[in-house]
């Protein structure tokens, strides 16, 4: 059986994550996944002639978080890699994003976009694993996601598909401007493989105690739900990974079908997105939901409309007069001629 380095290299090639001689920004927290990722990329560097730049963000959520930053900086220097370390107080963004977890994600991705653009990186590389994918699928299943949500994380996201996550934390983010891809070369690698690799290579990663806290849903999924599911399917991580890949293919088909009617359906302006009623009502319900999600993301990038709100929108869309408030400051209005999604000023 091929070693982890060979398998990761094959995954990169199979998914066209980057080309030889690419410059990559590597997100490193100091934990096992990201430390193994950086070591693997360091080993691939001479083979693929890669240029690596390390990025570490201190979220300011723990008293000892500065020690993680020091560890990553020392590792980068020891491996002769350039690094950018920054500290952002995630708590300042918690109210805007509806909680610490969502705020941390937005601030982190905003930071990565900012640094990647500054250093001219072709892609931002993260250490998400197959276990992370399984946890994501379960979280989205719990909230009633469709194919797009159950597809989980993709190995490759083009800049325009992911830049909205941290857009409001960065001043110079524009999806119309070419920017870095988001790639996940460890997405088919299980956490136990990462732990074995760290032990074999003598890597001594940092461990974040908040990963054990039952306060966060992901930790409860990781610590309780997945172990229970393993009693029914010992390879539940692999099974959920297959679910994600199948859902991703079906999601891509829905995107293609929506693209074919989008020009006739939607009028995008500075005020919002107008959807023609005749065209909208002629679509399959799956495409109607997809159209509404796309319209919302165009108005407020990164906004996710959950299943409950979508059901309410679909019901309201049958009426010729109505109004509904949605997440992200969005409003939907229905009229005889069509539907209007817009963001109203406070």
Is residue 293 within 8 Å of 300, Cβ to Cβ? no
pTM of the model: 0.87
Look at residue 345 in the predicted model and tell me its pLDDT.
61
Look at residue 346 in the predicted model and tell me its pLDDT.
52
Report, as ranges of residue numbers, the positions in the chain whose pLDDT lies below 70. 1, 97-98, 166-177, 213, 301-303, 345-346
Q: Degrees (nearest 5) of the Cα angle 131, 53, 164?
A: 60
Residues 6+ apart with CB under 8 A from 123: 17, 18, 22, 24, 25, 116, 180, 181, 182, 183
Rounded alpha-carbon distances, angstroms, from residue 172 to 24, 164, 176, 301: 20, 12, 11, 14
Query: Alpha-carbon distance 29 to 240, whole Å?
Result: 25
Query: Alpha-carbon distance 208 to 210, whole Å?
Result: 5
Look at residue 169 in the predicted model and tell me its pLDDT.
47
């Amino acid at each position: 059986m091929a070693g982890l380095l060979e398998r990761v290299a094959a995954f990169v090639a199979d998914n066209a994550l980057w080309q030889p001689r690419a410059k990559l920004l590597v997100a490193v927290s100091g934990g096992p996944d990201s430390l193994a990722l950086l070591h693997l990329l360091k080993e691939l560097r001479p083979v693929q002639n890669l240029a690596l730049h390390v990025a570490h963000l201190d979220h300011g959520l723990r008293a000892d978080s500065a020690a993680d930053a020091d560890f990553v900086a020392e590792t980068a220097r020891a491996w002769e890699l350039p690094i950018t370390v920054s500290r952002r107080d995630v708590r300042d963004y918690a109210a805007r994003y509806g909680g610490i977890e969502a705020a941390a994600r937005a601030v982190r991705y905003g930071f990565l976009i900012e640094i990647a653009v500054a250093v001219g990186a072709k892609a931002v590389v993260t250490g998400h694993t197959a276990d992370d994918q399984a946890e994501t699928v379960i979280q989205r299943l719990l909230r009633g996601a469709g194919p797009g949500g159950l597809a989980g994380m993709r190995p490759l996201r083009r800049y325009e598909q992911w830049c909205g996550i941290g857009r409001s934390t960065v001043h110079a983010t524009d999806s119309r401007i070419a920017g870095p891809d988001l790639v996940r070369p460890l997405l088919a690698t299980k956490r136990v493989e990462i732990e074995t690799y760290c032990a074999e290579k003598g890597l001594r990663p940092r461990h974040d105690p908040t990963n054990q806290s039952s306060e966060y849903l992901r930790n409860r999924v990781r610590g309780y739900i997945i172990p229970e599911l393993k009693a029914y399917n010992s390879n539940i991580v692999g099974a959920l990974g297959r679910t994600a890949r199948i859902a991703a293919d079906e999601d891509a088909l829905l995107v293609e079908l929506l693209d074919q009617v989008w020009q006739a359906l939607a009028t995008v302006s500075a005020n919002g997105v107008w959807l023609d009623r005749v065209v909208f009502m002629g679509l399959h319900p799956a495409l109607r939901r997809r159209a509404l999600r796309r319209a919302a993301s165009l108005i407020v990038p990164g906004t996710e409309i959950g299943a409950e709100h979508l059901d309410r929108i679909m019901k309201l869309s049958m009426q010729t007069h109505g109004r509904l408030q949605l997440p992200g400051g969005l409003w939907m209005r229905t009229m005889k001629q069509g539907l209007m999604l817009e963001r109203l000023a406070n």
